[in-house]
Structure 1
Amino acid sequence: MKFIYCFVFIALSLFACGSSKSTATPAEIENLKKMVEQRAFEIESDYAYPVTTTALMSLQNAGLFLDGSNASSVSLIGNPNYLRVKGDSVFAELPYFGEVQMPSYPSRDNGIHFKTLLEDYEANQNEKSKAYDLKFGANGTDESYNVFITLFPNGRSSIRISGSKRNSIEYTGEVKKWSREKD
């Protein structure tokens, strides 16, 4: 009987590993390819995932997070935010949840803000999933950032940002083609 369970488990595991191929339509794959090649897209995030620290757990235990949020997952729904890539420039206005290691003064708030040229931009496509992995550097007013983005053909996105003065944070959301009419 153990042999049958073991065989079924192995067969299901192999089947699951083989099904990581993209289920995106050719149109979705082509739209994503154009956005990346033209460097013309905007991401609006719906969740932030900060590094869970003792300080964030203390805030959670004090009941300071809104419903649907906790120390490791913060809902951004209804909170305006964006990361835009337009040609050789990148613009970001993202809320930050986490610990700042080296505060800079004066600062308008603790969010992540930059309007700068892309530095060391790289874009690579995953052949199986057809997703794109992007990486680049960006400089804010008083901090530098390393930005890692994954764009999926279904319109979902993941942004990972590590700053020179704060803990890293991840965002998930939706990617859309940027057009001049939005400005």
Structure 2
Amino acid sequence: MKHLKSILSFALLIAAIQTFAQTNKETTNKIVTAKNYTFVANMAIPMANNDITNLLNRLPGGQGGSTINLTGSQYDVRVTKDSVIAYLPYYGRSFSAPYPGSDGGIKFTSKDFTYTETKNKKGAYTIQINTKDVKTENYRLTINISTNGYASLMASSVNKQPINFNGYLSESKKKDL
């Protein structure tokens, strides 16, 4: 009887995960192939080092680990055929001082970039975006996308430690473009 309860609980959990998937396989394929999607960040995961860990422990609601909850924020990366617009926070070590007047973070609009898309046998995508025209510094964004729309993004540049974000893909709305 105990075994049956655990099997039913597991089946319910799997059904709930599928119900709350961000997009279905067809939608994910459509928006990635059309290069018209938005990566919405739910969690930031900075590179682990003692300075960052100490800072995260002091933040209100600090989790003691190396993750920062961004749920409910407006942090995202919008990708279209002709532009990439990033509005992400940055937690980590920077190897150069920010330009005067900049508010930090990973915030840019790029119209000159390379875009490489690969798809594995199971239908998951890996997107590689390299910006070429950002004034402050150019970024390499690597987005791994599952078939149901969940995604992880790694942002790296010459002047900052890499940072990872977890989130999901959504269709870009007309006003976003």
1:133 paired with 2:129, answer no
Aligned AA for 2:128?
K
Greater than 6 Å deviation, 4+ residue runs: none
Partners of 1:71 and 1:96 lie apart in 2 by 16
Instruction: Tell me the TM-score normalised to structure 2 length.
Output: 0.80
Provide Cα deviations, 1:34-63, integer angstroms capped at 9, x if missing partner: 111111001111100000112112324xx4
1:45 aligns with: 41
Partners of 2:176 and 2:162 lie apart in 1 by 29
Instruction: Tell me the TM-score normalised to structure 1 length.
Output: 0.77
Q: What is the aligned counterpart of 1:143 among 137, 140, 159?
A: 137
% identical equivalent positions: 26
Q: What is the aligned counterpart of 1:164 among 110, 133, 158?
A: 158
Q: Which runs of 5+ in 2 are unaligned?
A: 1-17
Q: Which has the larger radius of gyration?
A: 1
Q: What is the aligned counterpart of 1:117 among 106, 111, 114?
A: 111
Compute the RMSD of aligned alpha carbons: 2.1
Q: Which runs of 5+ in 1 are unaligned?
A: 1-22
Partners of 1:137 and 1:123 lie apart in 2 by 12
1:56 paired with 2:49, answer no
Instruction: Indicate if the aligned counterparts of 1:49 and 1:74 stay in contact, CA closer than 8 A.
Output: yes
2:92 aligns with: 98
Q: Provide the aligned length of Structure 1 versus Structure 2.
A: 156
1:71 Cα shift? 4.7
